[in-house]
Structure 1
Amino acid sequence: MNRELREFRRLERVCLEQAALSTMDLARTALLKVAEDCRLAAEAIEAQSPPHGAFAGAVQALKIALTATRPSSRH
Structure 2
Amino acid sequence: MKENFSNSSEEEILNFHKDISSKIREIREKKGISQLDLALDIGIKSVAFYSNCENNRYGKHFNLEHLYKICKSLKIQVKDLF
* TM-score normalised per structure 2: 0.37
Between Structure 1 and Structure 2, the one with more helix by share is 1
* TM-score normalised per structure 1: 0.40
